[in-house]
Amino acid sequence: MKSSVSGRRARLPALAVVATTVCLPSHAQTTATSDTRLPQVVVTGNPLGSRDLVAPVTALSGTPLLLRRGTSLGETLDGLPGVSSTYFGPNASRPVIRGLDGDRIRVLNNSGASLDASSLSFDHAVPIDPLVVERVEVLRGPAALLYGGSAVGGVVNTLDNRIPRSPIQGVSGTAELRGGGADRERGGAAMVEAGNGRFAVHADVFSRDTDDLRVPSYTPRADGEARARTDRVENSASDAKGGAFGAAYTSEQGHLGVSVDRYENDYGVVVEPEVNIRMQRDRYALSGERRELSGPLRALRVQFSHTDYRHDELEGAEVGTRFRTQGNDGRVELEHAPLGPWRGVLGLQFEQSRFSARGEEAFVPSTRSRQRALFLVEELAGTAGKLSAGVRVEQMRVASAGDEAGGDEEEEARFGPADERRFSLRSGSVGGLLNLAPAWQLSSNLSYTERAPTFYELYANGLHVATAAFERGDAQQRKERGAHLDVGLGWQHGPHSFKASAYTSRFSNFIALQGTGESVSEEGEEGETVSFPVYAFQGVRARFWGLELEGRRRLLDTGSTLDLDARADLVRAHNRDTGEPLPRIAPARLRVGLAWARAGWTARAEVDHAARQSRVPSDDVATDGYTLLNLSGTYRFKLGTSDALWFAKLNNVTDELGYNASSIRTVRELSPLPGRSLKVGLRVSF
């Protein structure tokens, strides 16, 4: 998996949200280590480049990211404060933030939209490989002001330097090899950058092969029936590869550049032993920024991308279902000159996409979606702290082709006539940060968000194999509305730190997938009749609340350092109409680690505990808790004139059986967490 990329860089085009809570002294906000070459200014949720943010952000880069990288974005981020994952086996795992998943989490690539089909179904992977990611920033809480109402849960922004954004002199690069693990990974990546101080180019490639995941011995269950005991997750192997090329004109005042990249991934679908997904995504991007302007406009930032995404679900050698998404997204941000003590950014955003699905498992019709938005963020900073405020207005249109899209006779009778829905959305936020003392900060934010229902929440009508249910949308669905409050407290003194946050969200209309008590019959593979429960997307009243805690204490600081750190989080979510818990909520979690460092050596031991999750709706079952012991170590050394880093990870030392409570039951009982495994790797930077 790819390391952080060298080069001297200016702040990436800033996107922001005046969203929520915990704000810490700037040196406590990232987890990057000294080998991180990206600037320590957080990009996500920060259009004005401030050091102190009102929103709670976690940033991963350098060695911490190197050691956390998994085969998917969700697996890489799972365990961060408030972050879990959908974990549909080792290949398809999307981030879950504060109990919210799917379209409520905005996944970005270099602050631009990642247009794909990952929010439609749990078995669809996010087409972003952690091998080529230099830095990940996770913004927790409502992020609707700049990213749209779909960012109610938060934002995950993956950053790279495929479009160079600041001058590069000479040639530099990285190469990485890694192997082992519970999936017997064979992976590698390489990157090179070159420039003459004005023109800069970037190129990277990566490849990763994995086998079926090894897990502690268990008894898989499918359709309520037990299978033969095994220590492998059937049909969980993968083969991913890709690369990119970018070029830009750069200066100290900005940049203008373009890039093209391709991502390919062939992987097995855990719930269907004979089905594999063949995925391909091509993305073309343009980015530009001009800073230090005079007059009423101080900075201008623009970006645009075009995405062509497709994947085929293969049943043996034949294509069973074909999905395709094509679309464009772009934004323009104008930073105005200070108006007295106020600084601010006015922005325009657009996004449009076309989706189609053809074949046996096409449970939604072909659709077109279009979004247009205007947002304004203002900030008032002083010695005692700062105030932030913002507003966003948005127009959303979702159109279904219905039966006009064609297809077989069954499809033509399924989706009805063509239809179109239009939504006017408004969101607002006001937040504050107070410096209580040199080492303490208190922050809070109140926000209101509106989210338009997605095309599948409106028009789904068919059997969804990944959830083992017949899913039905509602073309008259109302927009989702919620109010959110965050309060956070942060303390930093040298190597010691503490963070705490509490949050609550109340939705007057939360679009949930609810059991109706009905069932439908479908013909099975051998001609038998199989009955499936019917689930419908319905608006309900809902409440979420939770706590997040982090702390670090230096125990020893002589020739060596020894640090004790701990992290805990808790989230609760209820359907206020029925009184039942909402599904797929992570249990209370605690992680305690001990980290030692001396010269070029580091070592770490951590205990990761997840409590039993028994707060589940009536159509689910409790998930037992687990406790995992993980060990890791690194050694930094010179390899000729290059810097090298060797690393090793020994995960789940006791080979304990554990299941992810955030997964849907269909796959949870088929794919436990990885068993005991050793992974090693070498990264070289020149």
Q: Which residue spans within 599-676 are E strands per DSSP?
A: 601-610, 626-639, 642-651
**Low-confidence stretches of the chain (pLDDT beneath 50):** 1-39, 406-407, 409-411
Q: Name the token pair of 572.
A: 């609760």
* Rounded alpha-carbon distances, angstroms, from residue 115 to 14, 265, 283, 284, 355: 20, 16, 9, 12, 10
What is the C-alpha separation between 276 and 630, in angstroms, rounded? 31
Give SS3 for 64.
helix
According to the model, what pLDDT value does residue 225 have? 82
**Contacting residues for 564 by C-beta, under 8 A, at least 6 apart:** 552, 553, 555, 592, 593, 594
Helices (H), 53-205: 62-68, 73-77, 144-147
Give SS3 for 433.
strand
Q: Tell which residue, 151, 88, 165, has the closest CA to residue 123.
A: 88
CA 220 to chain centre: 28
Give SS3 for 301.
strand
- Asked if 162 and 237 touch (Cβ cutoff 8 Å), the reply is no
According to the model, what pLDDT value does residue 359 have? 87
Q: Name the token pair of 25.
A: 């002294």
What angle is formed at CA 267 by the lines to CA 261 and CA 269, rounded to 5 degrees? Answer: 135
According to the model, what pLDDT value does residue 36 have? 37
339: buried, middle or exposed (CB in 10 Å: 19+, 13-18, 0-12)?
Answer: exposed
**Contacting residues for 188 by C-beta, under 8 A, at least 6 apart:** 175, 176, 177, 178, 206, 207, 208
**Contacting residues for 668 by C-beta, under 8 A, at least 6 apart:** 623, 659, 660, 661
- Asked if 352 and 331 touch (Cβ cutoff 8 Å), the reply is no
